[in-house]
Amino acid sequence: MKYMVMECHPAYAVLMDEASRVVYAANLHYEVGQTVENPVLLQEQEKAAPRISVTMKRCIAVAACAMVMLGGGALYYRGNYTPYATVMVCAEANVSMEVSRSGKVLSVQPLNQDAAMLLSDYECSGKDTLTVTNELIERAVDQGYVQKGDTVGVYYQKEKSKDSEEFQKNVEQSIASHDLQADVHGELDQAPVPPAAPAEPPVAPAPPEGKEEPPAPPQPGKDDPAPPAPHDQKEEPPAPAEPPAKPEAPAPEPGAVTPPEPAAPTAEPPGPPLPPEAPAVDDNVSPVEPIPNEVPPVATPVHPLQSPPA
Amino acid sequence: MKLDVHRLLAEINEAKKDPRACDRLIEQYMPFIRSETAKFLKRDPSPEDDELSIAMFAFYEAIRSYSPIKGAFLKFAALQIRSRLIDNYRKERRHQGQVSLDAPIGSEDDGLTLMDTVQDESRPFEELGVREATRQEIAHLTAQMEEFGVKLTDVADNAPQQQRTLAACQKAVCYARNNKDVLDEFLRTKRVPLTRLAEGAGVEKKTLERHRRYLVAVLLVCTNGYEIMRGHIMQVLKGGEAS
């Protein structure tokens, strides 16, 4: 390509090529009108993408910082101030706690009147779930809602999470340290609705003693290992007369407690041989059914020949 | 110090707009340009050295492309000069295996060089005549362009760079050359008939508008009186594509 020198300056020259392009080139001692080849052409600076101004850079930096702070704040808020799980402590006074991801207690709600009393003047904000659970159990013990040997139920909503397993272990340990029995479950839905019941079982051992009280009905069986003859049957009736012993049950013990525990005695009896004709039901059911209790007083006069009950 | 910096920035901004101011600035900083060239050559450059010319051209490029976000001007210019000189050195190195025409032949006492044995096909006297005629044409063209308010440096700045744009402009020039009334109108009104050119050549009017000053120069070459220049750009005037 040939170039015609159109104009000369100390540092550069204006050239026109054969395609009528007009270009700048280094003035290598050219003269106007001269035709040259292979000139040193101006390297046109590639038009760079519009540069970002300093102000814009600052704005972008501020916006990025704001985004990071907002994101961090949102994560922090989610971890510390958003309910993540629910823990229910059932110790006569039933309490429900909302717990954050980080394990902090967000709020505590009483589920019954006793719980409202238990929570009066209690501040739980910012405390760990385990700490609050321990403190609530301590308060329940102090205020007499639970006693040694009672069972305390704790239900954690997030069953499958690792932290719940750890929490359950810790809770069991801490409850055991109060000489209480722990009933820790993972799923809240599985929590029994009447949580007051668990406090009663410790009283259950009474039945073995009661076993001797109702001995009256079995006694005849025991005394007469062989089933008595039919004529003996007539002498049997005094058995129902025994119920007078029943009144003992309500008297000394916290008798109100035992009635709900009927199942224990039923399972307990070793199964003494019962006379077939004898009302087998009497042994087991008599304590429960009130009817025999009422009937005997009436029946006693029916058997005057029998020795009067002691 | 700050005043110097501000003054230099003002001079650079002025040099970007005015070729004379640019020449003055280059003249003012010739010691700096020499110094940078000397650093590269490791000797004082003589005015005949191509390296000095290239360094001056690099300084001119630096003036054109400088903006304050690129840092201090002199550092930027020094980098530009050095890069250009390195490029030129690499380009010249390709020809290192060639024999110089000034190489002596026979014994050095004879004083004969290779150039003395080669037949000179050029005709210097004819060339000088053509060059003089060309110079006159260019001077005339430059004067006529002044009437249109256009300088050659403006044309260089305004010339199309992309091949497609250049082809569109050449199409318009061909149309004008084939329609004498268009050229007459152009000379009479001293305005480029962009609408007619765009409609007649079938190109975008906006494309022609962007390169109006370039069209002024080429359309003037197409009118009578610029035989040598027309011969130089014959390819375009024939309507061929630019290579």
Helices (H), chain A: 54-81, 113-119, 129-142, 162-177, 206-210, 218-223, 230-235, 238-241, 263-267, 280-285, 290-299
Residue B228 or residue A52, greater confidence = B228
Residues near A285 by beta carbon (within 8 Å), at least 6 away in sequence: none
Residue B85 or residue A266, greater confidence = B85
Please give the full DSSP string across B121-186, using - where no structure is assigned: ---HHHHHHHHHHHHHHHHHHHHHHHHTT--HHHHHHHS--SHHHHHHHHHHHHHHHH-HHHHHHH
A22-A23-A28 Cα angle (round to 5): 125
Cα–Cα distance for residue pair B122/B132, rounded to 1 Å: 16
Q: Which of A105-109, B5-9, B84-88 has the highest mean pLDDT?
A: B84-88
Give the residue among A194, A213, A192, A198 at the shortest CA–CA distance from A268. Answer: A213
Q: How confident is the model at residue A137 (pLDDT cuts 50, 70, 90)?
A: confident
Q: Residues 71 to 100 of A: which have CB under 8 A from any B CB?
A: none
Cα–Cα distance for residue pair B58/B89, rounded to 1 Å: 14
Contact A265, A207 (CB under 8 A): yes
- Helix axis angle, B73-93 to B30-41, nearest 10°: 40
| Cα Dmax for chain A | 160
> Of A83-87, A201-205, B218-222, which range is least confident?
A201-205
- β-strand partners of A182: A152
pLDDT score, position B86 = 93
Strand order in the sheet with A2-8: A22-26, A12-17, A2-8, A35-37
Nearest to B54 among A14, A22, A40 (CB): A40
Residue identified by tokens 């009017």 is B205
* pLDDT tens digits for range B201-241: 899 999 999 999 999 998 898 887 788 888 888 766 565 44
* pLDDT tens digits for range B92-113: 887 766 666 777 776 666 677 7
Average pLDDT over residues A140-146: 83
The answer, yes or no, to whether residue A231 has pLDDT greater than 60, is: no
Q: How high is the mean pLDDT of chain A?
A: 68
pLDDT score, position A52 = 73
- β-strand partners of A26: A12
Count of CB atoms within 10 A of residue A157's CB? 21
Q: What is the dihedral of CA A212, A213, A214, A219, to 10 degrees?
A: 50
CA atoms within 13 A on the CB side of B125: 0
Residues near A77 by beta carbon (within 8 Å), at least 6 away in sequence: none
Eight-class DSSP state of A307: P
Locate B172 and state its tokens.
């318009």
pLDDT score, position B229 = 86
Q: Which residues of A touch B65 (CB under 8 A)?
A: 45
Tell me the count of A-B CB pairs closer than 8 A. 111
Q: ipTM of this model?
A: 0.84
* pLDDT tens digits for range A274-299: 444 444 444 444 444 444 444 444 44
pLDDT score, position B159 = 87
Q: How high is the mean pLDDT of chain B?
A: 85
> Of A2-6, B182-186, B225-229, which range is least confident?
B225-229
pLDDT score, position B22 = 93
Contact A92, A145 (CB under 8 A): yes
Average pLDDT over residues B107-130: 72
Q: How confident is the model at residue A142 (pLDDT cuts 50, 70, 90)?
A: confident
The answer, yes or no, to whether residue A264 has pLDDT greater than 50, is: no
- φ, ψ of residue B146 in degrees (nearest 5): -60, -35
The answer, yes or no, to whether residue B27 has pLDDT greater than 90, is: yes
Pairing state between β A93-99 and A85-91? antiparallel
Average pLDDT over residues A175-204: 59
Q: How confident is the model at residue B34 (pLDDT cuts 50, 70, 90)?
A: very high
Residue A284 or residue B176, greater confidence = B176
Q: Which of A155-159, A240-244, A287-291, B24-28 has the highest mean pLDDT?
A: B24-28
Q: Which residues of B touch A2 (CB under 8 A)?
A: 232
Q: How confident is the model at residue B85 (pLDDT cuts 50, 70, 90)?
A: very high
Locate A246 and state its tokens.
């029943």
The answer, yes or no, to whether residue B169 has pLDDT greater than 80, is: yes
For testing contact with chain A, the best of B57, B213, B216, B218 (most A CBs within 10 A)? B57
Q: How confident is the model at residue A240 (pLDDT cuts 50, 70, 90)?
A: very low
Nearest to A14 among B156, B229, B233 (CB): B156
> Of A94-103, A263-272, B73-82, which range is least confident?
A263-272
pLDDT score, position B74 = 92
Q: Which residues of A touch B233 (CB under 8 A)?
A: 16, 18-20
Count of CB atoms within 10 A of residue B183's CB? 19
Query: How near does any CA of chain A get to the CA of B155, in Å?
Result: 7
Contact B137, B131 (CB under 8 A): no
pLDDT score, position B12 = 92
Residue A223: alpha-carbon gap to chain centroid: 55
Residues near A12 by beta carbon (within 8 Å), at least 6 away in sequence: A24, A25, A26, A27, A42, B56, B57, B60
Residues near A41 by beta carbon (within 8 Å), at least 6 away in sequence: A23, A24, A25
Task: Return the CATH fold of B2-93.
Answer: Rna Polymerase Sigma Factor; Chain: A (1.10.1740)
Q: Domains of chain B: which residue ranges?
A: 2-93, 127-237
Reported residue count of chain B is: 243
> Of A53-62, A160-169, A268-277, which range is least confident?
A268-277
pLDDT score, position B239 = 54
pLDDT score, position A64 = 96
Query: How near does any CA of chain A get to the CA of B106, in Å?
Result: 32
Asked if A42 and B61 come within 8 Å (Cβ–Cβ), the reply is: yes
pLDDT score, position A271 = 45
Give the residue among B223, B214, B126, B19 at the shortest CA–CA distance from A22. Answer: B214
> Of A17-26, A242-251, B154-163, which range is least confident?
A242-251
